[in-house]
């Protein structure tokens, strides 16, 4: 059989010559037989097999040419036939054209197989790179063939639709329609026009765009669709819009925009995920409250139990994380409500200088350890910057709703200092995300181009500083001229209807978020500034807005902390518990010491005692290291192992944060001023 397969491929390879000159078939066959003399069956049998195969294939190609000519004549005859309606002509011509394409594609497939055979024969079976390239080319050919077949199937569906319309028109011509039938017919035509107007030919429009790749995917049908036994095959296919697609890299996709926008759809996987998180968060949060831990750790445990390392029941992970981001937005807005512009003016120097000094010191220590451990400078800078960031949502949960004590004249409020430094770190996060592409290029650059990379980074820093200046100038204008009249008008219109007030405040949050995003500053800063601007309207306004927004924030914060738990892998932590504990304690102690050192230089003497509290609040790693780590891993800055270490150290530091915070509060704050947010 192997010998027979080889002869078949050689016959296809020599097909081009047989088409050009049919008289040379016998000589071509003799040449093929001579190349394989001494193998397989007798020479006469091999000769006869090649001759017969070539003649059959040549006959098929001649038949194909004859059929194509007949199809062209048939199309011209249909177009000239006056007895046919436009729908009937369109249907018949469409059917003929599809058959023409089928014949041409079948012939092209033969020649593509010949080219593939030629590449395989010319390659080296010991060369893995060459074999991989051949496999890639075959895969591309299969993908293109699949796309063409899919296009042909869609055209057949369109032809079927035209046929149905033609039959309906014939029936309508043969009988008189009632008034109801005429109305329904008009509605049908209007519906067809509506579908044609709103339908986006996204597939046809994008398949030729540069950078678009054809991929083979699996379509997993929903259980509901499988259980509907009484539906026809076409109805089941139409109902599969929300089924899941899985590519060869195990990425899973769901529908974002249906072809038929007139039918409302819902992502049942996402609904089930949110319902499951909401139900399981209650006992987990209750348990943490009982044993004296913050409820947010119960929500993280909920994410661990439902995530990939647990029951793996969450299907829409990206959607859950996206919804959780709104929890961060509203949390920072409420933080801004308690962080008035007056407090900002008192601590702006410390808030600006402190995080910058800490980040520079962390990078310096990272480069030192990287040099000792022979780690690339690019990787050392990235890891140090990730670890220098602290969690704003976590510390906000410690501070929001806490009691305010009386302070002596000249004393600084540690919550104001801490929040100011955290907001500045969020600005640094936006800066670092903007600089990351240049950092990626620097990792692969030679020494001669390092100067240019440094210049690019300096230009980016200048752009960020300009954007910050523009943001604060805009905030000054809004505070002076706009926020007062806007809130008074909003409050007046919302009497007896709190929905208007909630919507107006949310719209203002999203406006500031959008402005800071457009200016390449972090969205979190925009949410914080929105709260700070509204807090300038007075204590009564702040209390009213907090009472409305806080329940929304609480629910979305549950989703956010549960989404963090989706990226916690207990098995990995257990396997590497010793080294992870050492790394986590080293990072927490280093951040605590550096923060206390920097604050001792920046704080006035009368407020030196708060440096321990602020340092305790900064001595953990931000959850945004998950985002930075994933981007760096995709870009090749860090390896998979380093990425998992960053995730684990971040998780353990967040778990240690409440313990360190409670110890600092107990030791450093007088009893009347202690905060009860834990």
pLDDT reported for residue 376:
79
CA atoms within 13 A on the CB side of 498: 6
Read off the pLDDT of each residue in 656-673 and give the average, rounded to a whole number: 75
Element (H, E) at 641: helix 640-668
For the beta carbon of residue 512, count every other beta carbon within 10 angstroms. 27
- Binning pLDDT at 50, 70 and 90, where does residue 508 land? very high
The answer to whether 355 touches 614, Cβ cutoff 8 Å, is: no
Cα separations in angstroms, 437 against 320, 441, 457, 460, 660 = 27, 6, 10, 11, 36
* Mean pLDDT, the chain, whole residue set: 75
More confident residue, 423 or 31: 423
Instruction: Provide the pLDDT for residue 14.
Output: 38
State the CB neighbour count (10 A cutoff) for residue 339: 24
**Cβ(302)–Cβ(565) under 8 Å?**
yes
Q: Give the separation between CA 223 and CA 272, rounded to whole angstroms.
A: 14
Alpha carbon distances (Å) from 553 to 285, 322, 511, 617, 622: 16, 15, 18, 21, 19
Give me the residues paired with residue 220 across strands. 244
Residue found under tokens 């451990």: 373
Q: How many CA atoms lie within 13 A of 523 on its CB side?
A: 14
Q: Is the pLDDT of residue 344 over 70?
A: no
The alpha carbons of the chain give a radius of gyration, in whole angstroms, of 35
Q: How much of the chain is in helix, strand and coil states, percent to nearest 5?
A: 80, 0, 20
Count of C-beta atoms within a 10 Å radius of residue 161: 13
509-563 pLDDT per residue, tens: 999 989 988 887 778 778 888 988 898 888 888 888 988 998 999 999 899 889 8
Tell me the torsion sign for CA atoms 266, 269, 274, 280. Answer: positive
pLDDT mean over 173-195: 65
pLDDT at 450 over 80: no
Q: How confident is the model at residue 438 (pLDDT cuts 50, 70, 90)?
A: low
Q: Look-up: residue for tokens 């409305």?
A: 548
Task: Give the 3-state secondary structure of residue 117.
Answer: helix
CA distances, 506 to each of 273, 330, 527, 534 (Å): 25, 9, 10, 12
Please, what sign has the CA dihedral across residues 136, 139, 144, 145?
Answer: positive
Question: What is the per-residue pLDDT across 8-54, written as a single tens digit (0 to 9) for each?
Answer: 433 333 343 444 444 444 454 445 445 444 444 455 666 677 777 77
The Cα 404–Cα 154 span in angstroms is 68
Least confident of 70-84, 185-199, 419-433, 635-649: 185-199
Three-state SS annotation for 224-236: HHHHCCCCCHHHH
Q: Which of 584-593, 624-633, 649-658 has the lowest mean pLDDT?
A: 624-633
Residue 671 has pLDDT above 70, yes or no: no
**439: pLDDT confidence band, cut at 50, 70 and 90?**
low
Give the orientation angle of helix 414-443 with respect to helix 377-388, to 10 degrees: 160
CA dihedral in degrees (140, 146, 152, 153; nearest 10)? -160
**Is the pLDDT confidence value at 669 over 70?**
no
Q: Name the residue among 318, 672, 343, 329 with its Cα closest to residue 530.
A: 329
Mean pLDDT of 273-288: 93
Q: At 300, is the pLDDT very low, low, confident or very high (cuts 50, 70, 90)?
A: confident
Cα–Cα distance measured from residue 618 to residue 201, given in angstroms and rounded to the nearest whole number:
51
470-486 in b/e form (b: 16+ CB < 10 A) is: ebeebbeebbeeebeeb
SS (HEC) of 224-280: HHHHCCCCCHHHHHHHHHHCEEEECCCCEECCCCCCCCCCCCCCHHHHHHHHHHHHH
- Out of 199-213, 413-427, 566-580, 581-595, give the one with best mean pLDDT: 581-595
The predicted pLDDT at position 587 comes to: 92
CB within 8 A of 509, min separation 6: which ones?
329, 330, 333, 526, 527, 530, 531
> Can you tell me the distance from the alpha carbon of 567 to that of 310, in angstroms, rounded to the nearest whole number?
11
Chain centre to alpha carbon of residue 278: 23
State the Cα–Cα distance between residues 131 and 594, nearest whole angstrom. 55
Q: Which of 142, 143, 114 is nearest to 18 (CA)?
A: 114
Q: How far apart are CA 592 and CA 614, in angstroms?
A: 9
Rounded Cα distance, 431 and 436, in Å: 9
The Cα–Cα gap between 292 and 286 comes to 10
Helix (H) or strand (E) holding 18: helix 15-20
Tokens of 119: 């590449």
The pLDDT tens digits for 570-610 are 888 888 888 989 999 999 999 999 999 999 988 888 778 88
- CB distance 591 to 384 below 8 Å: no
Binned at pLDDT 50, 70 and 90, residue 223 comes out as low
Contact 459/492 with Cβ under 8 angstroms?
Answer: no
> Is residue 173 within 8 Å of 167, Cβ to Cβ?
no
**pLDDT, greater one: 521 or 205:** 521
pLDDT > 70: percent of the chain: 70
| pLDDT at residue number 9 | 38
Tens-place pLDDT, residues 310-342: 888 898 888 998 998 898 889 888 877 876 666
Q: Which of 201-205, 221-225, 254-258, 483-487 has the lowest mean pLDDT?
A: 221-225
Q: Residue 601 contacts by C-beta under 8 Å, 6 or more apart in sequence?
A: none
Worst-scoring range by mean pLDDT, 37-51, 284-298, 310-324, 654-668?
37-51
Closest CA to 241 of 269, 212, 278: 269
């Amino acid at each position: 059989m192997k010998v027979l397969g080889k002869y078949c491929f050689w016959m296809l390879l020599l097909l081009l010559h047989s088409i050009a000159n049919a008289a040379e078939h016998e000589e071509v066959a003799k040449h093929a037989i001579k190349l394989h003399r001494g193998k397989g069956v007798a020479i006469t049998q091999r000769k006869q097999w090649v001759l017969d195969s070539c003649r059959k294939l040549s006959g098929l190609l001649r038949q194909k040419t004859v059929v194509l000519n007949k199809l062209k004549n048939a199309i011209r005859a249909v177009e000239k036939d006056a007895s046919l309606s436009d729908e009937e002509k369109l249907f018949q011509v469409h059917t003929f054209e599809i058959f023409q394409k089928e014949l041409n594609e079948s012939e092209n497939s033969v020649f593509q197989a010949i080219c593939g055979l030629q590449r395989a024969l010319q390659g080296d079976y010991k060369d893995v790179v060459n074999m991989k390239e051949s496999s890639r080319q075959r895969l591309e050919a299969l993908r293109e063939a699949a796309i063409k077949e899919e296009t042909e199937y869609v055209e057949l569906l369109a032809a079927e639709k035209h046929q149905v319309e033609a039959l309906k028109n014939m029936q309508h011509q043969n009988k008189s329609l009632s008034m109801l039938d005429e109305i329904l017919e008009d509605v049908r035509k209007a519906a067809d026009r509506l579908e044609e107007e709103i339908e986006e030919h996204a597939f046809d429009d994008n398949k030729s765009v540069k950078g678009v790749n054809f991929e083979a995917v699996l379509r997993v049908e929903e259980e509901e669709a499988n259980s509907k036994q009484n539906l026809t095959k076409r109805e089941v296919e139409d109902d599969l819009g929300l089924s899941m697609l899985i590519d060869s890299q195990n990425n899973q996709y769901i529908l974002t925009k249906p072809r038929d926008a007139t039918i409302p759809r819902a992502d049942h996987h996402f609904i089930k995920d949110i319902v499951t998180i909401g139900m399981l968060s209650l006992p987990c949060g209750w348990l943490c409250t009982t044993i004296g831990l913050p409820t947010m750790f119960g929500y993280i445990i909920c994410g661990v139990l439902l995530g990939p390392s647990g029951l793996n029941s969450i299907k829409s992970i990206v959607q859950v994380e996206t919804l959780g981001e709104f929890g961060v937005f509203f949390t920072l807005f409420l933080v801004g409500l308690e962080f008035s512009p007056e407090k900002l003016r008192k601590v702006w120097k410390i808030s600006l200088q402190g995080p910058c000094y800490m980040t520079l010191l962390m990078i310096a220590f990272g480069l030192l350890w990287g040099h000792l451990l022979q780690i690339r400078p690019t990787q050392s800078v990235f890891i140090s910057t990730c670890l220098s960031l602290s969690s704003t949502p976590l510390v906000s949960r410690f501070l929001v709703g806490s009691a305010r004590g009386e302070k002596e004249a000249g004393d600084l409020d540690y919550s104001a200092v801490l929040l100011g430094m955290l907001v500045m770190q969020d600005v640094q996060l936006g800066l670092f995300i903007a600089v990351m592409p240049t950092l990626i290029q620097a990792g692969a650059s030679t020494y001669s181009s390092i100067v240019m990379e440094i210049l690019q980074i300096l230009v980016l820093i200048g752009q960020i500083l300009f954007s910050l200046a523009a943001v604060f100038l805009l905030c000054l204008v809004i505070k002076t001229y706009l926020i007062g009249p806007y809130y008074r008008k909003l409050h007046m219109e919302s009497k007896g209807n709190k929905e208007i007030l909630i919507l107006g405040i949310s719209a203002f949050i999203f406006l500031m978020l959008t402005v800071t995003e457009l200016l390449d500053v972090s969205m979190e800063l925009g949410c914080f500034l929105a709260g700070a601007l509204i807090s300038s309207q007075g204590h009564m306004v702040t209390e009213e807005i907090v009472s409305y927004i806080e329940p929304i924030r609480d629910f979305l914060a549950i989703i956010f902390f549960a989404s963090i738990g989706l990226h916690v892998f207990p098995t990995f932590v257990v396997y590497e518990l010793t080294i992870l504990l050492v790394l986590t304690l080293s990072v927490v102690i280093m951040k605590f010491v550096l923060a206390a050192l920097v604050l001792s230089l920046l704080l006035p003497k009368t407020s030196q005692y708060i440096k321990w509290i602020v340092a305790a609040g900064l001595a953990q790693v931000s959850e945004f290291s998950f985002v930075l780590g994933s981007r760096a891993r995709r870009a090749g800055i860090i390896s998979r192992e380093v990425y998992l270490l960053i995730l684990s150290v971040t998780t353990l530091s967040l778990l240690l944060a409440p313990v360190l915070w409670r110890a600092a509060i107990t030791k450093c704050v007088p009893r009347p001023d202690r905060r009860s947010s834990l």
